[in-house]
Amino acid sequence: MDSPQTAGKQFRSLETTDRGELLDYIAPVAATIIATLVRLALEPIVGSAVPFGTYFAATIIVAWYRGFWPSAVTVALSIFAGAYYVLPRVGVDSLFGRTASATIAGFTLLGLAVSFLIDFQHRTMIRARKAETLQASIAMENARLLENTKRSEEGLRIANEELTRANRDLETFAYSASHDLREPLRTISLSAQIIERDSRKALTADALRFLDQIKTSALRMDTLLDDLLTYSRVTKIDGGAPKADASRVLTGVLENLRSQLEGAEAQIEADPLPMLEIHESSLALVFQNLISNAVKYRGKEAPRVHIAVQQQNGDFVFSVADNGLGIDEQFSEQIFNLFSRLHTKDHYPGNGMGLAICRRVVEQYGGRIWLEHSELKRGSTFCFSIPRKA
Ligand code: ADP
């Protein structure tokens, strides 16, 4: 099918190739010769009536098929042919007599005027026809585009539905897996404690070490299940959230982290924080993970953490800056993936879910989270945005 551009090109090319061909020059000559021959053939029947009749017909035909200028040439040639072959035969003696001049002038004027009108009419008709063709191909192209758009929209809708379903299934799976695994885990942990309590003396040093390992692993798995539950519970927020006082949320988080902060002799400073539309528990989750990481991944100096906020293009942008170990910039995206860690469990406890949880929470509110800046051994600054929604 033609695109509008192709149709446009065709339109233009038809316009230009219609006229100005070799035929434009041959047609007047041929038409004049034929008109003369016809005139001679008809003479015994029609006599002297309408001396330029056949030339007039030839002029009109040339005007229709070849345009105004070839037909003007036909008029000129016809005058020449008429003056030598027709006028003398029909009894006009002098070429320059009144009758002959009047006949020639009448034929010339009438021939040119009619040629002009016919040519004009013909061109207008051709233009209208081409415009119609162009319109039809544009309409067809539009219909095709509309059809394509509809098909893409439908595809997108189906993909969206599948994604939502897969997400829901994943959430349900993560929730039930972490929920159902807690029970056997508690039994393992409890059994290890009972064995240790009741049979401690009968156990060898190796057996005690293995028991210790069972307890530590059970504890770690418990934390992992906790985090998985938290992650799967962060679900889409529909409609507006209530107003939360970020300063109050931060105070609560610092209270929760008190023993970790005191143990590390951490200094936490915060600028005045605003009221914003978010569930307090969600904001607490983000603050808690970022501040606890800032303290956990500390360097040699006592950790110093600064929490600030700015307004940017309709968003509140919070920043949490520390003076800790820092992160190699090449991992600035990867650290937000589930279970992605840059440090081993032996040195820094954790399961690589903290930042993934933060990202999930922030994105539920239409915000985003990123590593703004980091330098190894000097510290990192994490930022997250939450839309203000007046
Ligand atoms: P976790 O702390 O349980 O390992 P996170 O998702 O919170 O999981 O962090 C992912 C990784 O990003 C961490 O293992 C750590 O290597 C790195 N990281 C996060 N926060 C900081 C920080 N403030 N300073 C240095 N490294 C960090």
Mutation to probe ligand 1, out of 319, 327, 346 (largest number of atoms < 8 A from CB): 327
Report if pTM > 0.75: no
Residue-level pLDDT at 15 = 47
Residue-level pLDDT at 385 = 97
Q: Tell me the two tokens of residue 321.
A: 């800056």
Query: Cβ < 6 Å from ligand 1: which residues?
Result: 289, 293-294, 297, 322, 324-325, 327, 335, 340-343, 350-356, 380
> Which residue is closest in CA terms to ligand 1's atom 11?
341
Q: Of 325, 319, 370, nearest to 344 (Cα)? A: 325
Mutation to probe ligand 1, out of 227, 295, 297, 353 (largest number of atoms < 8 A from CB): 297
Residue-level pLDDT at 17 = 46
Distance CA 282, CA 249 (A): 10
Would you say 309 and 316 are in contact if contact means Cβ atoms under 8 Å apart?
A: yes
Residue-level pLDDT at 11 = 44
pLDDT at 95 over 90: no
Q: Tell me the two tokens of residue 199.
A: 């049979």
pLDDT at 3 over 70: no
The pLDDT confidence band at residue 90, using thresholds 50, 70 and 90, is low
Over the chain, what is the mean pLDDT? 87
Q: How does pLDDT run across 139-192, given as a tens digit for each residue?
A: 999 999 999 999 999 999 999 999 888 888 877 887 888 788 888 899 999 999
DSSP state of 278: S
The pLDDT confidence band at residue 12, using thresholds 50, 70 and 90, is very low
Q: Tell me the two tokens of residue 162.
A: 């599948």
Q: Which helix (H) or strand (E) holds 277?
A: strand 275-277
**Distance (Å) of CA 221 to CA 176, 288, 330:** 15, 20, 29
DSSP state of 86: I
Residue-level pLDDT at 242 = 85
Distance CA 350, CA 345 (A): 6
CA atoms within 13 A of residue 379's CA, in its CB half-sphere: 18
Distance CA 297, CA 354 (A): 13
Mean pLDDT: which of 92-106, 211-225, 360-374 is highest? 360-374
> How far is ligand 1, taken at its centre, from the CA of residue 352, in Å?
7
> How far is ligand 1, taken at its centre, from the CA of residue 347, in Å?
12
